[in-house]
Amino acid sequence: MLNFIVFYLLDTCRMEITRICQWLSLLICVLLLLQTEGVPVGITFVENAVAKGAVCLDGSPPAYHFNKGSGAGINNWIVHFEGGGWCNNVTTCLSRRDTRLGSSKKMDTSLSFSGFFSNSKKFNPDFYDWNRIKVRYCDGSSFTGDVEAVDPKTNLHFRGARVFAVVVEDLLAKGMKNAQNAIISGCSAGGLASILNCDRFKSLLPATTKVKCLADAGFFINVKDVSGAQRIEEFYSQVVQTHGSAKNLPTSCTSRLRPGLCFFPQNVVSQISTPIFFVNAAYDSWQIKNILAPGAADPHGQWRECKLDIKNCSPNQLSVMQGFRTDFLRAFSVVGNGASKGHFIDGCYAHCQTGIQETWLRNDSPVVAKTVRN
């Protein structure tokens, strides 16, 4: 019946009989797109977190979007941490304080769930009936910061680690305490959060829960930029210093290295005991744009067009990008081939792939040996 209505409306619209018909056709197309590509999920504010000091940069409560599981998946959970870069000093943190990346007051009240988060068995056969949560990112430290003092001149709160703890606590009270399976995941800065907090997440759940970690585009590497400077190393050190993150980074790393270096997964992953899986592009587009060829390293804009579209890259620039791939794979080699660590590293020029239907599960999605999913 639905197909008949759709075809009828589309046909009549092509004939341009009425403007109302065009509107109805558009509405049906949008509904069909939502059915296949994503479902809107409302926001939940953790209001009691404020009293605990677990707040966003501006002091507002943390938030997440929760699509409840059903049937056989009712006791299985995916807790996904949103990405969005970092702020490394008061100036950069102030620039994001009054945006969605620093305040829950500025966040969209609804997010679309697709890919890894879809509730469609067709488009997400393994996890469609799980409890699926997207935790919003508003602290600028990959959920690692914890500074008690708040400067009244800036009203900046560096409390990412507290946000992490209070969100998990809230979800435990809403049923995750009964979880049979639980996955902590994240994209970009959230993917880094899932690495740095992997063992911590497991420690907060019941001992009977089978816990695994998934990092999507979270394996940021320590590499020189095109000018020869080690900017990302300095930047991460500033992030850790500003947010007071050192005490919340894995002690297996901070006992050996400077805290700023423990923001790099390559210095942390070998000591992670919880099973973890990595999804990353070897030609990670964000890292190429912001770590390999940031604007500060390219004052004359020679990389500008290349970063916008790799079809515009010169042979020399493509060679530099190939070198980045080599550096990435070398850094990633520390992951090894143990039973508790797995990975899917593709050759795409991309960043974050699990939450997008095109790269998660579709006819033209990346595959291994012509196998869409194992």
Which residue do the tokens 């404020």 mark? 50
Q: pLDDT tens-digit profile of 44-95? A: 999 999 999 999 999 999 999 999 999 999 999 999 999 999 999 999 999 9
Strand partners, 134: 65, 80
Q: How far apart are CA 368 and CA 374, in angstroms?
A: 9
Task: Enumerate the active-site residues.
Answer: 188, 284, 351
Q: pLDDT tens-digit profile of 148-178? A: 999 999 999 999 999 999 999 999 999 999 9
Please provide the size of the chain in residues: 374
pTM for the model stands at 0.87
Report all structural domains of the chain as residue ranges with CATH numbers, in order of start.
36-360 (3.40.50)
Phi/psi at 59 (5° precision): 95, 0
Q: Are residues 217 and 191 in contact, defined by beta-carbon separation less than 8 angstroms?
A: yes
Q: Given this model, what pLDDT does residue 3 score?
A: 39
DSSP string covering 17-47: --HHHHHHHHHHHHHHHHHHH-EEEEEEE-G
Q: Given this model, what pLDDT does residue 369 score?
A: 64
Q: How far apart are CA 60 and CA 325, in angstroms?
A: 40
Q: pLDDT tens-digit profile of 84-133? A: 999 999 999 999 999 999 999 999 999 999 888 889 898 899 999 999 99
State which H helix or E strand residue 213 sits in.
strand 210-216
